[in-house]
Amino acid sequence: MHHFTYVGSNLHCESVDLAEIARLYGTPTYVYSATTLADNYTRLANGLAGLDVQVCYAQKANANIAILRHFANLGAGFDLVSGGEIRRVLAAGADVKRSVFAGVGKTEPEIKLALENEIFAFHVESEPEIARINHVAGKLGVKAPIAIRINPDVDAKTHAKITTGKSENKFGIPLKQAGAAYEAAAKYPNIFIKGVQMHIGSQLTSVAPFVEAVTKVVPFVEELKAKYGITYFSIGGGIGIVYQDALASGQQAWWDAQPAETRPITPEAYGAALAPLLKPLGLKILLEPGRNMVGNAGVLLSRVEYLKRGEGRNFLIIDAAMNDLARPAMYDSYHEIVPLHRDTARRAFTADVVGPICESGDCFAKQRPLQEIGEGEYIAFMSAGAYGFSMASRYNTRNLAAEVLVKGGSFELINARETFEQQIANEKIPAFLKA
Ligand SMILES: Cc1ncc(COP(=O)(O)O)c(C=O)c1O
Ligand SMILES: N[C@@H](CCCC[NH3+])C(=O)O
């Protein structure tokens, strides 16, 4: 469920008219619902009620410090993949002690920063990384807590670019080699074996691959508990969200109307399927959800610049582009596109919705049925809260979008639109070119 809905003819986030935000701050602008964010956190934590659960929100999905603070206030830690992400936790005034550090390429300065801030654990992705963590911990005179990321070789049945738990993926250590990796880790003087981790992919739309992976790994987890006294098992993130029919899926009635076999995954179904497998372990269970926490809590607002009527094709040219929301260009992913002002009296038409960037890939939707809409009107991309702003770039010297957080009837800018001065500030012309 989410809190984006039409009130009369106008699309609202909670009780704020989104057109008001578009007019006030301009576009493209991301808008997030604080209530949806909180609901998503609570539903997931409650889905595994009865277990000792720690939610480590995967910050890569949306790293705005206001959102981090909101989740931290609710009790979340974070799943981090860079020194920059550690710095964001600190900037949000949150605690790194409840956070884990993943990623295949951790550098020495990043490991040092994590240790200095007493990271909950490193999620180790290779044997050479264990040696490096041991070395940095030794220099600091501390013991580094680690968990090894297991690659269970399970098909997550998601997009090839975001599946991570197959043996051909670069992530983790294969289950068959993991025992030896733990034995090697146990020999290092500055390493403390704390847990075990896995993450099989993103945007999973069914619980079956999660069940398969957990079932496959559980005997090994039991062995690790007996051998090393590990205290936690992180089952990663990956729970998918609804992209098609995103607006309707904000209503309970929509979920109830879906046939049981094809009903999209919910935190409740995820919890119900996994809790019985996890409970007997008697371990703390870490979850690393990203998309499911923020995806349906955000929209991207954009303004129509031109309606170009091509040969047998309409092009709706808008002021957002692939640099603002890269998912359609990168993964051919679908985002529902809706007008901020709905007018049922208007004709329907189909259009390619495109941005102003000089690439044919700068296309959000092809031949999309829409209400006829024209210059100066606003649209919203639904389900844009995850991997939207966090993947934005400045391609074509475009400034990064603004971000706004709504709660009830209030809203506040949580990231002002970048200016060209800010964008260019770090660049300089070297003296040898100033002839
Ligand atoms: C290690 C790890 N944990 C958690 C996540 C979050 O994934 P998602 O946003 O699909 O929940 C990712 C990204 O896929 C990841 O690589
Ligand atoms: N960036 C991807 C998800 C990657 C998940 C990160 N491990 C997306 O937009 O769907």
Q: Is 395 marked within a binding site?
A: no
Determine the pLDDT at residue 119: 98
- Smallest CA-to-CA distance from 68 within 37, 25, 24 is with 37
Tokens 């005034």, residue located: 93
Q: 13, 56, 358, 363: which is the annotated catalytic residue?
A: 358
Predicted pLDDT at 186: 98
The DSSP symbol for 387 reads S
What pTM value is reported for the model? 0.97
Model ipTM value: 0.98
Among protein residues, the one with the nearest Cα to ligand 2's atom 4 is 162
313 is in an annotated binding site: no
Q: How far does residue 162's CA lie from ligand 2's centre (Å)?
A: 6
Instruction: Pinpoint the residues of the chain covered by CATH 2.40.37.10.
Output: 296-424
Residue 113 exposed, middle or buried by CB count within 10 Å (0-12, 13-18, 19+):
buried
d(Cα 21, Cα 33) in Å, to the nearest integer? 13
Quote the ligand 1 centre to 401 CA distance (angstroms). Answer: 24
Every domain of the chain with CATH number 3.20.20.10 lies at 34-292
Residue 290 has φ and ψ, to the nearest 5°, of -115, -75
CA–centroid distance, residue 387 to ligand 2 (Å): 6
- How far, in Å, is the centroid of ligand 1 from the Cα of 59? 9
Using CB atoms within 10 Å of the CB of residue 147, give its burial: 0 to 12 exposed, 13 to 18 middle, 19+ buried. buried
For residue 289 and ligand 1, the question of a CB distance below 6 A is answered with yes
Rounded to 5°, the CA angle 375-376-380 comes to: 100
Establish whether 85 is an annotated binding residue: no
Is the CB of residue 199 below 6 angstroms from any atom belonging to ligand 1?
Answer: yes
Ligand minimally distant from the alpha carbon of residue 104: 1
Provide the 10 A C-beta neighbour count for residue 301: 28
Give the CATH H-level superfamily of domain 34-292: Alanine racemase (3.20.20.10)
Measure the CA–CA gap between 220 and 217, rounded to whole angstroms: 5
DSSP class of 93: T
- Assign domain 296-424 to a CATH class: mainly beta
DSSP codes joined into one string, 137-181: HHHHT-PEEEEEEEE------S-GGGB-SSTTSSSSEEHHHHHHH
Which is the closest atom of ligand 2 to the Cα of 162? Answer: 4
Cα 198 to averaged position of ligand 1 atoms, centre (Å): 10
Residues of the chain predicted below pLDDT 70: 162-163, 165
In short, whether 288's Cβ falls inside 6 Å of ligand 1 is yes
127 C-beta neighbours (distance < 10 Å), count:
14
Whether 13 is catalytic is: no
- Ligand 1: which residue has its CA nearest to atom 14? 202
Q: Give the number of the ligand closest to the Cα of residue 79.
A: 1
Query: What pLDDT score was predicted for residue 158?
Result: 74
Residue 394 assigned as binding residue? no
CB 104 near ligand 2, within 6 Å = no
Q: Which ligand is nearest to the CA of 325?
A: 2
Phi, psi of 85 (to 5 degrees): -70, -35
Cis status of the peptide bond prior to 264, with omega within 30 of 0? no
Distance 292 CA to ligand 1 centre (A): 10
According to DSSP, the β-strands at 314-318 and 410-415 are: unpaired
* Whether the CB of 387 sits within 6 Å of ligand 2: yes
Q: Indicate whether residue 162 lines ligand 2 (CB < 6 A).
A: yes
Is any atom of ligand 1 closer than 6 Å to the C-beta of 238? yes
The residue contributing the CA closest to ligand 2 atom 1 is 387
Between CA 288 and CA 171 the distance in angstroms is 15
Q: Give 273-295 pLDDT, tens digit per residue.
A: 999 999 999 999 999 999 999 99
Q: Whose CA is nearest to atom 9 of ligand 1?
A: 290
